[in-house]
């Protein structure tokens, strides 16, 4: 299949807050890469464009230049002609219904209710507009002239727990890979009864590690005598110890010590102190309910963990309840049983939230990057400043205090 494709965000991205404050939904880790890469693999397009929130434009360009130097990707603009397939960035590329529709030669609009999931239309009939830092608005001229296809809800990833499940499905169907310059200790157990174990280039797995498939370990990552359980995808340049199960860890994050992480999504540049552990199961074994925005959503699942957004730091011995979200650059310690906004310091001992100085968040990121021989640039700094401004209301609503943090 060779087509022009446009991958776009819509308001479903809000269901993944705060992990999507610093990345488009198409950059969420999934399987051995990210959602966008999975879409590209499925469609094999001649041309690709990405429609994202305006403040993420430069960050997307930076990611693309680092990861795909030979591939052109237009961000929030269209430089092609002819027909195009519009693709919601949260489609399930493993879904048979999606795969069948993508093969259609006729023009169509595929929807769930009023939400566009897939559409094959002429590029000239698409109008893209942005308002401030809000989601891109896509208008389709003469929309009623195209064949309407009603899609089922299972064709889209609507919530974080569905992302974790789709991650497992993709890992289960992935091809085995053992990369170059991989160093696996003599006393390492690799169990592939439930799925393959893929290990990318320059991975080091220390003795006494247990690795269960399906799972993926990204380039330059170090596994420190850890238990990596099935359904886990670890990005590049991470350090991982303790026990990880059915979770997604984005690049450049550290969980070097003991502790358990299960059914969770971890952002980039996160550092988890020794014995950091999260809950993913209620004592009653009941269905877990999650608050998203002003709504409480029943997951209809017994297991779901947490989201730690980019730059989060946890102190030693931090215990985090199921369903907790911790925002960008926040520092937490103690027993965490509620959502923590971005740029916030929280200690459960005094139950007080203090705003993290914006400059402190920026300087902390700079120091972490320098430890990995990466130079923080203007795009990195601007993204943090933009997120700080975007999340001011969250801190106000959570009664986060300004001023110097006190133990």
User: Over the stretch 69-86, which tens digit does the pLDDT of each residue have?
Assistant: 546 789 998 888 889 999
Helix 378-390 / helix 57-67 crossing angle, nearest 10 deg: 140
Distance of alpha carbon 109 from alpha carbon 116, whole angstroms? 7
Looking up tokens 């980039």 gives: 268
| Residue 282 pLDDT exceeds 50 | yes
Give the other-Cβ count within 10 Å of 9's Cβ: 22
Binning pLDDT at 50, 70 and 90, where does residue 240 land?
very high
Q: Which of 59-63, 286-290, 362-366 has the lowest mean pLDDT?
A: 59-63
Strands 115-122 and 4-8: unpaired
Q: Of 325, 328, 221, 192, which is closest to residue 268 (Cα–Cα)?
A: 328
Helix 358-371 / helix 378-390 crossing angle, nearest 10 deg: 140
Q: Of 391, 265, 389, 271, which is closest to residue 340 (Cα–Cα)?
A: 391
Distance of alpha carbon 166 from alpha carbon 188, whole angstroms? 28
Distance of alpha carbon 143 from alpha carbon 301, whole angstroms? 37
Structure tokens at 353: 């939230």
| Residue 404 pLDDT exceeds 80 | no
Q: Which of 37-51, 69-83, 274-288, 316-330 has the lowest mean pLDDT?
A: 69-83
| Residue 407 pLDDT exceeds 70 | no
Distance of alpha carbon 267 from alpha carbon 247, whole angstroms? 11
pLDDT score, position 78: 85
All residues at 6 or more sequence positions from 386 whose CB lies less than 8 Å from its CB, including other chains = 55, 133
Q: Of 390, 343, 384, 393, which is closest to residue 133 (Cα–Cα)?
A: 390
If you average pLDDT over residues 214-243, what whole number do you get?
97
Distance of alpha carbon 328 from alpha carbon 310, whole angstroms? 5
Give the other-Cβ count within 10 Å of 33's Cβ: 19
Ranges of each domain in the chain = 4-158, 168-397
Distance of alpha carbon 391 from alpha carbon 67, whole angstroms? 28
Q: Of 78, 77, 232, 90, which is closest to residue 164 (Cα–Cα)?
A: 232
- Helices marked H in 109-188 — which ranges? 160-172
pLDDT score, position 65: 75
* DSSP per position, 301-359: -SB---EE-TT-EE-TT-EE-TT-EE-TT-EEESEE-S-B-SSEEEETTTTEEEEPPHH
Q: 185-210, pLDDT tens digit by residue?
A: 999 999 999 999 999 999 999 999 99
Q: Which of 291-295, 312-316, 397-401 has the lowest mean pLDDT?
A: 291-295
How large is the C-alpha radius of gyration of the chain? Answer: 21
The DSSP H or E segment spanning 367 is: helix 358-371
pLDDT score, position 32: 95
Structure tokens at 355: 């705003």
pLDDT score, position 220: 97
In DSSP terms, which residues pair with 313 in a beta bridge? 271, 331
pLDDT score, position 70: 45
CATH number assigned to the domain with residue range 4-158, chosen from the 4 options 2.60.40, 3.90.550, 3.30.70, 3.40.50: 3.90.550
Q: Of 71, 247, 39, 260, which is closest to residue 163 (Cα–Cα)?
A: 247
Answering whether pTM is above 0.85, one says yes
pLDDT score, position 79: 86
Angle, CA of 36, 47 and 35, to the nearest 5°:
5
If you average pLDDT over residues 392-402, what whole number do you get?
94
CB 52 within 8 A of CB 74: no
Give the other-Cβ count within 10 Å of 152's Cβ: 10
pLDDT score, position 72: 76
Report the SS3 class of residue 62.
helix
Q: Does domain 168-397 have CATH number 2.160.10.10?
A: yes
The DSSP H or E segment spanning 57 is: helix 57-67
If you average pLDDT over residues 112-123, what whole number do you get?
93
If you average pLDDT over residues 253-273, what whole number do you get?
97
Distance of alpha carbon 62 from alpha carbon 397, whole angstroms? 33
CB 176 within 8 A of CB 197: yes
How does the average pLDDT of the chain come out, rounded?
93
| Residue 405 pLDDT exceeds 70 | no
């Amino acid at each position: 299949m060779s087509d022009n494709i446009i991958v776009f965000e819509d308001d479903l991205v809000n269901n993944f807050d705060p992990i999507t404050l610093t990345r488009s939904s198409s950059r969420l880790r999934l399987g051995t890469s990210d959602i966008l890469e999975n879409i590209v693999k499925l469609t094999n397009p001649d041309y690709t464009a990405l429609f994202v929130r305006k403040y993420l434009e430069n960050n997307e360009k930076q990611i693309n230049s680092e990861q795909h130097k030979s591939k052109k990707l237009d961000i929030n603009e269209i430089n092609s002609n002819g027909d195009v397939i519009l693709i919601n960035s949260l489609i399930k590329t493993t879904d048979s219904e999606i795969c069948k529709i993508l093969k259609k030669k006729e023009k169509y609009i595929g929807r769930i209710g009023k939400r566009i999931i897939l559409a094959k239309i002429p590029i000239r009939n698409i109008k893209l507009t942005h308002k401030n830092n809000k989601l891109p608005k896509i208008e389709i001229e003469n929309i009623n002239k195209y064949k309407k296809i009603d899609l089922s809800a299972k064709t889209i990833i609507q919530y974080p727990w569905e992302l974790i499940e789709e991650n497992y499905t993709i890992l289960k169907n992935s091809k085995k890979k053992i990369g170059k310059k991989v160093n696996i200790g003599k006393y390492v157990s690799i169990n592939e009864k439930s799925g393959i174990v893929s290990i990318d280039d320059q991975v080091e797995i220390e003795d006494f590690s247990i690795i269960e498939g399906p799972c993926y370990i990204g380039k330059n990552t170090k596994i420190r005598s850890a238990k990596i359980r099935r359904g886990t995808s670890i990005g590049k340049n991470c350090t991982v110890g303790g026990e990880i199960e059915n979770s997604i860890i984005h690049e450049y994050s550290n969980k070097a010590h003991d502790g358990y992480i299960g059914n969770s999504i971890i952002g980039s540049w996160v550092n988890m102190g020794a014995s950091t552990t999260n809950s993913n199961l209620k004592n009653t074994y009941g269905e877990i309910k999650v608050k998203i925005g002003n709504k409480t959503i029943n997951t209809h699942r017994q297991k779901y963990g947490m989201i730690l957004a980019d730059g989060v730091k946890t102190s030693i011995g931090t215990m985090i309840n199921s369903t907790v979200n911790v925002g960008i650059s926040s520092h937490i310690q103690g027993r965490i049983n509620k959502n923590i906004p971005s740029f916030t310091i929280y200690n459960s001992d005094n139950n007080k939230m203090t705003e993290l100085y914006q400059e402190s968040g920026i300087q902390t990121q700079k120091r972490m990057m320098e430890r990995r021989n990466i130079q923080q640039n203007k795009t990195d700094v601007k993204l943090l400043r933009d997120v700080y401004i975007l999340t001011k209301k969250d801190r106000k609503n959570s009664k986060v205090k300004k001023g110097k943090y006190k133990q």
